[in-house]
Amino acid sequence: MAQIIHKGGLLATALDHLNFPKRYIGRLALAQKSSFLIPCLGQVSQEESYRQKTFKHLKQLLCYPLILLIIVSLIIFFVRWLLLPQLLNLITADIRQKHLLINILLFSLEELPLISGISLLFALITANLVFLYYRSLSTLSQLKWLHRLPIVGKLEEDYLSWQFTLELSSLLEQGISIKEALDQLLEPSVRPSIRSISHLLIQYSIKGIPISQSLQSLPFLRQDLALVIQKGDILSQRATKLRLLADKYFSDFTQKCKRLIMFVQPLLFSIVALLIMGIYLILLMPMLTMLDQAM
């Protein structure tokens, strides 16, 4: 890092070699070129601290049901390899024919390796095909494709609006115009998604289309961003409003993530409950068999 700085390199370049978060590299590089590095470092420090705190809370919400699901899955595999042979000796073919639920549970346990293997293979093939298709698209096409997904689209809209508004407000705080800020966002150090949006807005601007109108045509950005830019405030006021708007976008993004996790939690607990009921019925099979034979 010291060698890069002594040779006249940017601090952002040195931090990039130290695996510093990529989302800040472009902004720090632009800030250093504009002699705005120290305020930018303070902003980055506050943003990263708040971001880590928020995502830590989201992980904690999701951690417990996932751990519980893993433990129950391990118990099921334990029952499959250690208790299943004994259960098969106790349960006759007649009982399996009479009790459909017992037959289904035993079949699921007997074919558990095959079912798990086929499910995992199908998931991997599907994920690879989706990933290859996604990588074949251009950056803007990727953003449009993600926006069409039911739940991911809304999360992407808030996250991308937050990132773009944050980058734009940081540049406007340096006293430059929106067009100059968009030009700077074309730097290679800027994230590809932000760079592609800036390039598209510049192309629209060359055609004579106002930036506020161009923003309204982008489905993966929040529409109120165009309204703030359209008001035509002085640069300092506009930068402050964009900074507040970016904070609101990040708050909306985290709130939607929390609501999604709160929806996923009951679903995971329901799956865990069904698995526990299945284990309970499996353990009761010998008793049911004895009762059936007694009758």
pTM: 0.74
Model pLDDT for residues 93-107, shown as the tens digit of each residue: 666 666 676 677 777
Distance CA 37, CA 39 (A): 6
pLDDT digits (tens, 9 = 90+) for 219-255: 889 888 888 887 755 556 788 888 888 889 988 988 8
More confident residue, 6 or 186: 186
With cut-offs at 50, 70 and 90, classify the pLDDT of residue 188: confident
Read off the pLDDT of residues 208-218 as tens digits, 9 standing for 90 and up.
888 888 888 88
C-alpha 183/C-alpha 139 separation (Å) is 18
Domain boundaries of the chain, sorted by first residue: 5-83+149-294
Q: What is the pLDDT of residue 95?
A: 63
CA quadruple 211, 217, 222, 228: dihedral, nearest 10: 30
Mean of pLDDT values over 130-141: 92
Give the per-residue pLDDT at 270: 78
- What was the pLDDT predicted at 96? 65
Q: pLDDT (tens digit, 9 = 90+) per residue, 152-169?
A: 888 889 989 988 988 888
**Rounded-to-integer distance, Cα 1 and Cα 144, Å:** 38
What average pLDDT does the segment 126-144 reach?
92
What is the per-residue pLDDT across 13-29, written as a single tens digit (0 to 9) for each?
666 565 666 666 666 77
pLDDT value for 211:
84
Please say whether the beta carbons of 186 and 197 come within 8 A: no
Residue 46 pLDDT level (bands cut at 50, 70, 90)? confident
pLDDT category of residue 133 using cuts at 50, 70 and 90: very high
pLDDT exceeds cutoff 60 at 8:
no
pLDDT at 128: 95
Continuous H helices in 79-149: 84-90, 93-98, 100-110, 112-136, 139-147
CA angle 35, 190, 137 (to 5 degrees): 170
The pLDDT value given to residue 6: 45
Mean pLDDT of the chain: 77
